[in-house]
Amino acid sequence: MTNLSHTDPEAFGILQAERNRQHTTLELIASENHASAAVLEATGSVMTDKYAEGYPQRRYYQGCHESDQAEQLAIDRAKALFGAEHANVQPHCGTSANIAVYMAALDPGDTIMGMDLSHGGHLSHGLKLNYSGIYYNAVFYTLSKDTEMLDMDAVRDLALKSRPKMIIAGASAYPRTIDFEAFGKIAAEVGAYLLCDIAHIAGLVAGGVHPSPVPHADFVTTTTHKTLRGPRSGIIMCKNKWAKKVDSAVFPGLQGGPFMHQIIAKAVALAEASRPEFADYAGQVVANAKALADALMEKGWRLVTGGTDNHMMLVDLRSRDENLNGHVASGALAAARLVANKNVIPFDPRPPMQTSGVRFGTPALTTRGAKEPEMKIIGQWIDQILTNYEDKTLIARIGDEVLKMCEAFPVPNQK
Ligand X SMILES: *Cc1c(COP(=O)(O)O)cnc(C)c1O
| Active-site annotation, residues | 51, 53, 197, 223, 226, 232
Collapsed DSSP state (helix, strand, coil) of residue 339:
strand
* Cβ atoms of residues 318 and 293 within 8 Å: no
Q: Which of 200, 216, 266, 311 lies at the binding interface for ligand X (CB under 6 A)?
A: 200
Spell out where 181-319 has E strands: 193-197, 219-223, 234-238, 302-303, 312-316
Nearer to ligand X, 170 or 326 (CB): 170
Residue 168 Cβ, how far from ligand X at the closest point, in Å?
Answer: 9
What is the footprint of ligand X within residues 277-316 (CB under 6 A)?
A: none
* Cβ atoms of residues 370 and 404 within 8 Å: no
Q: Which of 124, 284, 305, 341 lies at the binding interface for ligand X (CB under 6 A)?
A: 124
Q: Which of 34, 119, 122, 229 lies at the binding interface for ligand X (CB under 6 A)?
A: 122
Task: Tell me the CA distances in angstroms from 76 to 89, 161, 203, one per residue in order.
Answer: 10, 40, 17
Nearer to ligand X, 94 or 346 (CB): 94
Nearer to ligand X, 103 or 199 (CB): 199
Measure the CA–CA gap between 113 and 143, rounded to whole angstroms: 14
Nearer to ligand X, 116 or 374 (CB): 116
Residue 114 Cβ, how far from ligand X at the closest point, in Å?
Answer: 9
Measure the CA–CA gap between 159 and 166, rounded to whole angstroms: 10
What is the footprint of ligand X within residues 160-199 (CB under 6 A)?
A: 170-172, 197, 199
Measure the CA–CA gap between 69 and 60, rounded to whole angstroms: 16
Closest CA to 360 of 298, 301, 276, 411: 301
Residue 196 Cβ, how far from ligand X at the closest point, in Å?
Answer: 10
Measure the CA–CA gap between 96 and 104, rounded to whole angstroms: 12
Q: Is 343 in the site for ligand X (CB under 6 A)?
A: no
Nearer to ligand X, 199 or 386 (CB): 199
* Cβ atoms of residues 224 and 95 within 8 Å: no
- Tell me, rounded to whole angstroms, the distance of Cα 290 from its chain centroid: 18
Give me the 232-271 binding string for ligand X, x by CB under 6 A, dash otherwise: --x-------------------------------------
Residue 246 Cβ, how far from ligand X at the closest point, in Å?
Answer: 16
What is the footprint of ligand X within residues 73-102 (CB under 6 A)?
A: 93-95
Q: Which of 223, 305, 341, 362 lies at the binding interface for ligand X (CB under 6 A)?
A: 223
Closest CA to 339 of 369, 306, 382: 382
Q: Is 227 in the site for ligand X (CB under 6 A)?
A: no
Q: Which residues contact 110 (CB under 8 A, 6 or more apart)?
A: 136, 137, 164, 165, 166
Residue nearest ligand X, Cβ-based: 94
> What are the helix (H) ranges across 88-236?
94-105, 131-135, 152-162, 180-190, 202-206
Residue 378 Cβ, how far from ligand X at the closest point, in Å?
Answer: 23
Positions that interact with ligand X (CB under 6 A): 31, 93-95, 122, 124, 170-172, 197, 199-200, 223, 234
